[in-house]
Amino acid sequence: MTTTIGLEIHVQLATRTKMFCGCSTTFGDEPNTHVCPVCLGLPGALPTLNAEAVHLAITLAMALGCEVHEVSEFSRKNYFYPDLPKSYQITQFDRPIATVGSVPIVTERGARSIRLTRAHIEEDAGKSMHVADITLGGETLVDFNRCGMPLIEIVTEPDMQSGDEAYEFLRNLRRLVRWLGVSSGDMEKGAMRCDVNVSVSPDPALRGTKVEIKNLNSFRSVKRAIDYEEQRQAQCLGGGTSIVSETRHFDEVQGTTTVMRSKEASNDYRYFPEPDLPLLQLDSTELESLRAQMPELPWEMQSRFERDLGLSPYDAALLTEERSTAEFFQQTIALYNNPKKAASYMGTEVARLLNERGKTLSETQLTPAALAGLLTMVENNTISNTASKDVLPLLVDTGVTPAEAVKNLGLEQVSDASAIKDYACEVIAENATQVEQFKSGKEAVLGFLVGQLMKKSKGKANPKLAGEVLRTLLKS
Ligand code: ZN
Ligand code: MN
């Protein structure tokens, strides 16, 4: 059996106001407080296009490698639903703002590119809440705050073959939208939602009948819904039942899909050009300037870190998960020229501390200069690597410089050979038995003597130097 998967993703554009009116996009406020005649679809109200939403959509489309069209058109998609007061949605139909494009993914099957069909701008509908009320036998409430929120819908080619691939695609897309500041990508707040098309066929050369699963709001749900649907369709086909083209709903609790409705054809929506909005015409200079502002993309930076800096795939992925982390890392290695060490320190010690504090890097006092300073002190043997772990919390919590922190904690490592020699002489005088053992060829005893020296120096001696000094004295 061959599984074919295509995705349609709605990404909410991070603007201050809605797509066609001045209402606020703030999430979580009292229902029906961010509404006006335009987004409520009152007679005679006219939409005005939000230029910032268009800029964000273009930026994302460019980053996805899409062809951005200088002329595109808004259309009306007509349907009745309680959360859609206008009884139509303003969207783009046969002339979308962008076509083609791709997103790279890496899974167990290796690195691949998932092709995109198109990306178009549209407005969101409101939100229905089904409230169970015993006396009323249940009722439905509608919140219109979400009506008219600016969205970009991204449609992929049916290029994925498993739930894992779909998961990886979404993870990488979300990393990109956050990286660009185009969207919060927050699925829990509905800022990113996903519809899935799944078809299973016994013949790899033939595409099976497409089933759509609507409104999945977590990556895990997407993967679970696909895994279930794959199995259900294979079972149907195996038992001689044909698959019906339909829209299904994923039940989070049961982990199963159930029929919602049979699939509409696009002509059921009676699309026609939106008469209240002119053609969307983009200025080529403006497009050029948006292209010029495009930052290095997360997956580009990730492969550069591996290729040019020699980072492990794990470290490169971790450091490019968020743009602020990647920038922090780049500023650190500009001051401390050992990318591998800086990356591994950030991936272990710094990550552990952030995890303990429940904070992101930017929420702490740690600066690239402080981290670079700390790593330099370890490198110069001013402090030991172990001591650096005591210094780091101070840098993270208080923002003191590494030098101040080391001084406050009294952690300077003793790398002064004459100071170490004094300790070494004391150790030799106090441990006659072990000294004899060493002299009769029991080399391993040196470790014990170094330990004694470290204890005397309260852990501040440079252990490597301590070993060397002891060895020289014992052999003389
Ligand atoms: Zn409004
Ligand atoms: Mn849509």
In a domain, 148, yes or no: yes
Ion ligand 2 contact residues with beta carbon within 5 A = 153
- 341: closest CA among 297, 376, 389, 369? 376
Band (264; pLDDT cuts 50, 70, 90) = low
Whichever domain contains 470, its CATH number is 1.10.10.410
| Ligand 2 center–CA 113 separation, angstroms | 23
Q: Are residues 208 and 305 in the same domain?
A: no
CA distances 429 to 273, 424, 425, 455, Å, are 96, 9, 6, 15
Domain boundary among 254, 285, 316: 285
| Ligand 2 center–CA 408 separation, angstroms | 59
| Ligand 2 center–CA 107 separation, angstroms | 28
* pLDDT tens by residue, 406-424: 888 877 777 778 888 999 9
Bridge partners, 280 (sequence order): 72
**Residue 112 and residue 121 in contact, taking contact as beta carbons nearer than 8 Å:** no
Residue 136, pLDDT > 70, answer: no
**Residue 260 and residue 254 in contact, taking contact as beta carbons nearer than 8 Å:** no
| Ligand 2 center–CA 125 separation, angstroms | 10
* pLDDT tens by residue, 82-116: 999 999 999 999 999 999 999 999 988 889 999 99
Q: Are residues 80 and 222 in the same domain?
A: yes
The torsion defined by the Cα of 45, 119, 290 and 320, in degrees rounded to 10, comes to 120
Q: Are residues 104 and 135 in the same domain?
A: yes
| Ligand 2 center–CA 305 separation, angstroms | 36
Which H or E run includes 107? strand 102-107
Q: Are residues 238 and 376 in the same domain?
A: no
In a domain, 291, yes or no: no
159 phi and psi, to 5 degrees? -100, -5
State the Cα–Cα distance between residues 125 and 81, nearest whole angstrom: 9
Q: Are residues 164 and 312 in the same domain?
A: no
pLDDT at 458: 79
Q: Are residues 393 and 439 in the same domain?
A: no
In a domain, 223, yes or no: yes
pLDDT at 407: 84
**SS3 for 362?**
helix
| Ligand 2 center–CA 163 separation, angstroms | 22
Nearest ligand to the CA atom of 90? 2
State the Cα–Cα distance between residues 406 and 421, nearest whole angstrom: 23
Q: Are residues 339 and 304 in the same domain?
A: yes
For the chain, what is the mean pLDDT?
93
In a domain, 78, yes or no: yes
The CB density around residue 436, as the number of other CB atoms within 10 Å, is 11
Q: Average of pLDDT values for 127-145?
A: 83
Characterize the bridge pairing of strands 211-216 and 246-251: parallel
Q: Average of pLDDT values for 415-440?
A: 90
| Ligand 1 center–CA 243 separation, angstroms | 42
| Dihedral angle sign, alpha carbons of residues 105, 168, 160, 1 | positive
| Ligand 2 center–CA 31 separation, angstroms | 23
Q: Which of 96-100, 137-141, 446-450 has the lowest mean pLDDT?
A: 137-141
CA distances 302 to 165, 248, 306, 335, Å, are 19, 37, 7, 20
Domain boundary among 285, 315, 348: 285
In a domain, 113, yes or no: yes
Residue 431, pLDDT > 90, answer: yes
Q: Are residues 257 and 353 in the same domain?
A: no
How many domains, the chain? Answer: 3
* pLDDT tens by residue, 48-60: 999 999 999 999 9
| Ligand 2 center–CA 101 separation, angstroms | 18
| Ligand 1 center–CA 19 separation, angstroms | 9
Q: Are residues 133 and 16 in the same domain?
A: yes
Nearest ligand to the CA atom of 89? 2
| Ligand 1 center–CA 230 separation, angstroms | 41
State the Cα–Cα distance between residues 202 and 200, nearest whole angstrom: 7
Q: Which of 196-210, 279-293, 329-343 has the lowest mean pLDDT?
A: 196-210
Q: Are residues 322 and 208 in the same domain?
A: no
Bridge partners, 211 (sequence order): 198
Token pair 């603007």 is found at: 15
Supply the range of the domain harboring residue 390: 296-409
In a domain, 290, yes or no: no
| Ligand 1 center–CA 218 separation, angstroms | 28
In a domain, 87, yes or no: yes
In a domain, 261, yes or no: yes
Q: Are residues 229 and 300 in the same domain?
A: no
| Ligand 2 center–CA 248 separation, angstroms | 16
Q: Are residues 327 and 456 in the same domain?
A: no
Residue 387, pLDDT > 90, answer: no
Burial label, 192 (beta-carbon count in 10 A; 0-12, 13-18, 19+) = buried
The CB density around residue 142, as the number of other CB atoms within 10 Å, is 18
| Ligand 1 center–CA 146 separation, angstroms | 9
CA distances 119 to 33, 211, 237, 280, 435, Å, are 30, 21, 33, 14, 77
Out of 123-137, 228-242, 450-464, the most confident range is 228-242
pLDDT at 139: 82
Query: How far is CA 167 from its chain centroid?
Result: 12
Nearest ligand to the CA atom of 126? 1
* pLDDT tens by residue, 18-48: 999 999 999 999 999 999 999 999 999 999 9
Domain boundary among 393, 409, 425: 409
Query: How far is CA 88 from its chain centroid?
Result: 33
Nearest ligand to the CA atom of 36? 1
| Ligand 1 center–CA 36 separation, angstroms | 4
Nearest ligand to the CA atom of 9? 2
| Ligand 2 center–CA 457 separation, angstroms | 69
